[in-house]
Structure 1
Amino acid sequence: MCGICGIFDTSGSPVRRETLDAMTDSLRHRGPEARGTWLERGIGLGHARLSIIDLATGDQPMSNEDASLWISFNGEVFNYLELRDELMARGHIFKTTSDTEVILHGYEEYGTDFFRRMNGQWACALWNTGRRELLLCRDRVGIAPLFFTSVSSKGGRRILFASEPKALFRDPGVPRELDPRGLAESFTFWTTVAPRSVFKGIRDLPPGRWIRFTEGSEQEGSYWELRYPPRSAETAGSAAEHARHLRETLVEATRLRFTRSDVPVAAYLSGGIDSSVTTAVIRNFTDTRIKTFSLRFADTEFDEGGYQEQMVSRLGTDHETLTVTNQDIGEVFPEVVAQAEKPLLRTAPAPMFLLSRFVRDSGYKVVVTGEGSDEMLGGYDIFREALVRDFIARAPESALRPEIIRHLYPWLQRNPASAPAFAKSFFSQSLDPADAALSHRPRWQSASGIMRLLHPDLQDEVAQYRVADVLLERMPAGAAGWHPLSRAQWLEITTLLAGYLLASQGDRMLMAHGVEGRFPFLDPDLIDLAAALPPRYKIMGLDEKYLLKYAFADLVPEQILRRPKQPYRAPDAGSFFSREPEWLKEITEPRQVRNSGVFNPQAVENLIQKCRRKKGQGMSNFDNMAVTAVLSTLLLQRQTAGSS
């Protein structure tokens, strides 16, 4: 993974080298090992390189043999050797051994259809000198980020793109304002949903899509879309047959991501089933001794160290652990927000920021992780909630059906079973079986309460924006005929996976220290296989990821296979108020809040004083989300206004 940026002036006016250099330099954390720029009339491409494949000849921007096509590329194409052989057989001549050059020749040969042949994670910009057109493209699920905007220029407009918005702000013509609708999405879905970003005028290229700019037009297209089969066409086959296919696909996906690298690759080991499976596959299906890294918490409520130690003992990995305290999270939080460039409703990205720094300091710059398993194979509580809510909705008058709620959260100290009346009320709200958002409506309604803290002027503006409807209108045709679990998966992948887990908690925390993440569970073959699986094999009763456990029962200890599902979490309010970091008082001072124009100063003061009285302990789920959202948004606004 690297950092890419560029400017296309549709009038043909020269691109200012100073601006392009500043944009490229702002991305050096993503690619600290090499820096390159290329300019000709009306176009400039920039690249900050993290060298993973073809260390000697893979510098960018790169051209084809006659310089008719140029590329700035961020990411990896894991099947580049196979694609290279195919293209050479068709007469293409290569001057490097990089995966980047494969894209140049593949695009020459197949155009945008080549993207569907690529197995990888990427964001890229391709410039065609003869046609004077710029094409931007992003991978299927949004592992690699790509933002773009346009500003008026003399006789035309400047199209600017970059891996991160901070690079776009290096052009003085790009406004530095928060978008109220972007805030509304953030305070509903926990993230904005592409193409919207949290900044006015800046668009987030949706996963699986490309966009082409010429001197007089703009055209968008899709090369991939997430779809599920209708319930009437769900595949047959036994659990054993599907488990065998899943195992074969995941082993190959993991092997590919571990071996296609010219530098050593490590693995994250959380103690959950996902990273345990990928690490066990690496250990059993490659010849390399694996280096593993784990994150632990000083607060035992969030710590999974015992399970991590079991896997380390089982596999005999060369293992290192980083233990994070509440104070660590509070102190580093402004840096985390500066990298995420989004409001955050949880502090969970902060420990990942610290872990990636630890990994880089240990001499590694590539890690294999387990992200994507929950989304693809039915691992989240929200999916089990969806089935529970659907179960209750089919007989809403039943007094017995709500009893199933007691079995949802065995890992949580404050289990809903301790307040059964509240739990029944919460899980029984909005029970319309025809609602495409039946699974997610309670989460969205809970998070959207944060908007009550907004400044009255902003509340009036966002009140006109029907956030959930905007998302639901994008669901593919035929989604009404999907299984309820499939609809829930589509919503989760479209919102939280792309915009939060792979962005704020993933790419941005990894690349803050020049570390590339690789995700076997997001291999396109595995995504397609998982989408076609019968839902009953994803969640069997309330047993999440049933088929994954079945497929890898011989490689993972029984205690980990059968442990209660515990999602990755970090202390929220407790990280800020058990011992207040120096920045907190300044950012929440009533005059500063008032001047920000984002939040109601009195509402913020009431929330802050409540957190101070309790020292951040024993706060409700909503208060934890709200205070984290307020602090991160105030930090983001200040950082954006001050960037130069």
Structure 2
Amino acid sequence: MPGIIGIINKSQRAKNEHDLRLMIDSMMHEPFYNSGIYIQHEQGLYFGWTCHRNSYSDCMPVCNESKDIHLIFSGEVFADQDLLDCLKRKGHVFDPSTASALIHLYEEEGEDFLVMLNGWFNGVLIDSRTAKAILFNDRYGMQRIYYHENKDEFLFSSEAKALLRIRPGLRNLDNRGLGEYISCGCVLENRTLFSNIYLLPGGAKWTFQDGRCTNKSSYFYPGSWEDQPILDKETYYSRLKHTFQNILPRYFNSKEAVGMSLTGGLDTRMIMACINRPSGRLPCYTFGGMYRDSYDVKISRKVAEVCNQPHYTLTLGKEFLNKFPELAEKSVYISDGYLDAASAYELYLNKLAREIAPIRITGNGGSEILRSVRAFKATAPCNGLLNPDFDDYIRKAADTFNAVSKLHRLSFFIFRQAPWHGYIRHSVEQAQLISRTPYMDNDIVALVYQAPEETTTTNEIPLRLVADCNHALANILTDRGVGGISNASSTLFSIYREFFFKAEYYYNHGMPQWLTILDSMLAPLQLEKLFLGRNKFHHYRIWFRRELAQYVLDILSDQRAVTRSYLNNGFLEKMLMEHMRGDHNYTNEINVILTLELLHRLLIDG
């Protein structure tokens, strides 16, 4: 995804410039990116950036009128209009659709300007008046900064591959990080998949002078939100409704076209109920599959119709399967090995979404923030998959996860799950377009910390908000049968939907081993036609056995794959044979090992 790059090193000027350009080149994933460099030899500062053309950060480097303060910035800030108006009254000239206002906010507020920023971002500010640079990111850590430091230099980048590109000695997997990735689908805390490469913690403010880091501090502490008083139910609802309606226009305000990514759930329904857009001016779309229109597609179509907006279905079909090898490899590469190969549909579908609008509004995080939904967990791999010598790392992963899970339920999501796990898909989405969600707006998150407990585990508040803002939308059932007009018929229909939701989950990739034997015996009946496509648009248990079987076998039967030190090589061969035969289900295991093998080939082995 677009981002920033930096080398802080006062020696080897020519080499630093050469390396900087190599780092930028490794992050130029698409022809619609812009890039540039900023160099200050005297302080040993070598900075670069990539960005979407015409985006909020496509104005680098930003400088003040006297040109003694410069800013390299990536991401977006959703500033309150009053803040921008205040800067204008003080005589500052800037384009409110770009990051140009931020340099003036620093002039007025000093380093405290970071607390006032609302969004996902990272950046480096160079103040020549004090001969210092400040490296920073958003309070959640959603715009990653990977870094490596030693006694001679400090390197950082929004993508780890940029560091691997110029320092081959860093191309080693970290076993603890690998164990966490296998167990949790991501790496925990501020470690990464790579030895001696770490993540800048969220809310960081690291200061550099004379070519070295002199201070590592934070500008935001979660306790300032956690310690707020709890509101009563009616006060909370009233403030949530007002705040949500107030902040939504920030996310739809853009000089570029904005599209609404609709699902059949409540999170995007709330957005549609509260945002008032002219008829026909907000293109809506839903990701769909090849077998049938899913509930997501059917319901989203109704929602768009009620709101008098056009709706499109972006289909994951045979073209995706034909391009899967290329898409899987590019997804793994862009995400620095974090996005699993099976999620290559994110790259494919977001590329299609960009053709509709380069900015995508989603409901991401809504369920987790408003209703405490948690699907993030540590899961031990199947017995026999890994070399027994690796078991300690799997146990450590579970222990670490259990420890961090004890945080405040909201803090766990926004300061742990979102930047560690949610970021992974976000990184590939952002490679294609600009993805926004209003649910992690600072004003919303701060308020939800004050929610009474009884409102954080049910659908009552979201349903009420939808009904109050657009009653017609409240009459439409969600994909899980929630809402709508309550009667005996709707109750039966909800039970029917829930049955097929769970049945598709098992048939799609969660089928237990004992049931796969029966399923293989019934294969001639093609029962997948009954279950698949009602709720999901990707079906890898079947695809790994059919359309994608040859690619999987070519990669995982290769000598390089079967000799990886963390694998039980004999089990790998057995696993592939049994899954392809259809009498065992190893969908998740194949996906993980396929991803790791691509990671080795694209980023480690050279």
TM-score above 0.5: yes
Q: Distance in 2 between matches of 1:228 and 1:607?
A: 50
Matches within 5 A, 1:25-174: 25-29=25-29, 32-41=32-41, 42-52=44-54, 59-79=59-79, 81-90=81-90, 93-94=92-93, 97=96, 99-151=98-150, 156-173=151-168
Q: From the superposition, tell whether residues 89 and 570 of structure 1 become closer, same or farther in structure 2 (CA, over 3 Å).
A: same
Matched pairs, number: 546
Q: Give how far 1:177 is off.
A: 1.5
Q: Equivalent residue for 1:281? A: 274
Which residue number corresponds to residue 425 of structure 2? 505
Residue of 310, 321, 326 corresponding to 2:313: 321
Distance in 1 between the 2:409 and 2:572 partners?
Answer: 33
Question: In the TM superposition, what are the counterparts of 1:527-538 in structure 2 within 5 Å?
Answer: 527-538=445-456
Quote the residue 1:453 is aligned against: 385
CA contact (8 A) 2:27 2:162 kept: yes
2:440 corresponding residue in structure 1 = 522
Please give the residue correspondences for 1:423-572 in structure 2 after superposition, counting only pairs within 5 Å: 443-444=377-378, 447-449=379-381, 453-459=385-391, 462=393, 466-470=396-400, 487-501=408-422, 503-506=423-426, 508-513=427-432, 515-539=433-457, 544-554=458-468, 555=470, 556-561=473-478, 562-563=481-482, 570-572=538-540
**SS where residue 141 of structure 1 aligns?**
coil
Identify the residue that residue 421 of structure 1 maps to in structure 2: none
Deviations 1:318-349 (A, max 9, x none): 222111148835443222222222345683x3
Task: Kindly provide the amino acid, as one letter, of the partner of residue 262 in structure 1.
Answer: K
Shift of 1:373: 0.3
Shift of 1:117: 0.9
**Superposed displacement of residue 638, structure 1:** 1.2
1:369 and 2:350 matched: no
Cα distance 1:194–1:124, how it changes in 2: closer, same or farther (>3 A)?
farther
**Contact 1:179/1:200 (8 A) holds in 2:** yes
Q: Percent identity?
A: 22
Deviates more, 1:562-571 or 1:573-582: 562-571
**Separation in 1 of the partners of 2:240 and 2:341?**
32
Distance in 2 (CA, whole Å) between partners of 1:381 and 1:159 is 36
Aligned-partner SS, 1:263: coil
- Alignment match, 1:427: none
The aligned counterpart of 2:265 is 272
Q: How far off its partner does 1:46 sit?
A: 0.9
Which SS does the other structure have where 2:381 is aligned? helix
The answer to whether 1:9 aligns with 2:9 is yes
Q: SS at the partner of 1:6?
A: strand
User: SS where residue 47 of structure 2 aligns?
Assistant: strand
Structure 2: runs of 5 or more not aligned: 483-493, 502-534
Alignment partners' CA distance in 2, 1:187 and 1:178? 13
> Once structures 1 and 2 are overlaid, which stretch shifts more, 521-530 or 105-114?
105-114
State how far apart, in whole Å, the 2-side matches of 1:627 and 1:326 are. 21
CA distance in 2 between partners of 1:247 and 1:550 (Å): 10
Provide the residue aligned with 1:187 in structure 2. Answer: 182
- Cα deviation for residue 637 of structure 1 reads 1.4
How big is the shift at 1:198?
1.1
Change (3 A) 1:222 1:448: farther
- Rounded Cα–Cα distance in structure 2 between residues aligned with 1:38 and 1:579: 47
Pair 275,350 (structure 1): closer, same or farther in 2 beyond 3 Å: farther
Question: Per the alignment, do residues 492 and 85 of structure 1 end up closer, same or farther by CA in structure 2, a change over 3 Å counting?
Answer: closer
Aligned to 1:72, the other structure's residue is in SS state strand
Partner of 2:525 in structure 1?
none
Tell me which amino acid in the other structure corresponds to 1:222: S
TM value normalised by structure 1: 0.76
Gaps in structure 1 of 5+ consecutive residues: 383-439, 480-486
Q: Secondary structure of the residue that 1:290 maps to in structure 2?
A: coil
Q: Provide the secondary structure at the position in 2 that maps to 1:86.
A: helix
Shift of 1:11: 5.0
The aligned amino acid for 2:465 is A
Partners in 1 of 2:10 and 2:382 — Cα distance? 41
Relative distance call for 1:450 and 1:219 in structure 2 (3 A) is farther
Q: 2:577: which partner in 1? A: 609
Report the secondary structure of 1:559's partner residue: coil
Give me the whole-angstrom Cα distance separating, in 2, the residues matched to 1:31 and 1:213: 33
Q: Which residue of 1 aligns with 2:216?
A: 220
Q: Which amino acid aligns with 2:289?
A: F
Q: Give the aligned partner of residue 629 of structure 1.
A: 592
TM-score by length of 2: 0.81
Q: Provide closer, same or farther for how the CA distance between residues 471 and 157 of structure 1 changes in structure 2, counting only shifts above 3 A.
A: farther
Q: Matched residues in 2 for 1:466 and 1:275: separation?
A: 37
Counterparts of 2:366 and 2:70 in 1: how far apart (Å)? Answer: 35
Correspondence for 1:595 among 559, 563, 568: 563
Alignment partner of 2:380: what SS? helix
Q: Distance in 2 between matches of 1:233 and 1:571?
A: 46
CA contact (8 A) 2:4 2:123 kept: yes
Aligned to 1:235: 231
1:441-463: per-residue Cα shift (whole Å, max 9, x none)?
xx42xx22358533344445x26
Aligned-pair Cα RMSD in Å: 3.2
CA distance in 2, matches of 1:568, 1:129: 53
Q: Which residue in 1 is equivalent to 2:251?
A: 257
